[in-house]
């Protein structure tokens, strides 16, 4: 809901990159400055050990990892582009 509110122009959002990635990649949101925080918390792909070798589990895992890698690549491209991340001294709004 917070990210949707920022997309709708109701303010800014403090969000995990993974949760805002789609909106960043598709230009619905921008990062108003280049500061980011590395967090020790991560996402894990988990399942019961007994099912971990099933083809459908492997396919799902491979798809999730490929999607995450693609998002990371696209976000890196946005961050390195001149328009992608404005300088801290420039006031901007984080929606649309």
pTM: 0.59
Mean pLDDT of the chain: 80
Tell me how crowded residue 94 is: count the other CB atoms within 10 A of its CB. Answer: 19
pLDDT one-digit tens code per residue, 8-28: 989 888 888 888 889 999 989
Q: Which residues of 8-24 are buried (b: 16+ CB within 10 A; e: fewer)?
A: eeeeebebeeeebbebb
Band of residue 83 on the pLDDT scale cut at 50, 70, 90: low
> And the tokens for 88?
């801290």
Helix axes 55-80, 17-25, angle to 10 degrees: 60
């Amino acid at each position: 809901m917070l990210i949707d509110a920022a997309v709708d122009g109701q303010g800014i959002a403090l969000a995990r990159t993974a949760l805002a990635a789609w909106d960043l990649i598709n230009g619905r949101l921008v990062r108003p400055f280049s500061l980011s925080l590395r967090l020790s918390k991560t996402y894990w792909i988990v399942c019961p050990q007994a099912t971990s070798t099933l083809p459908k589990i492997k396919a799902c895992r491979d798809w999730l990892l490929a999607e995450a890698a693609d998002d990371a690549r696209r976000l890196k491209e946005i961050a390195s582009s001149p328009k992608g991340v404005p300088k801290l001294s420039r006031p901007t709004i984080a929606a649309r």
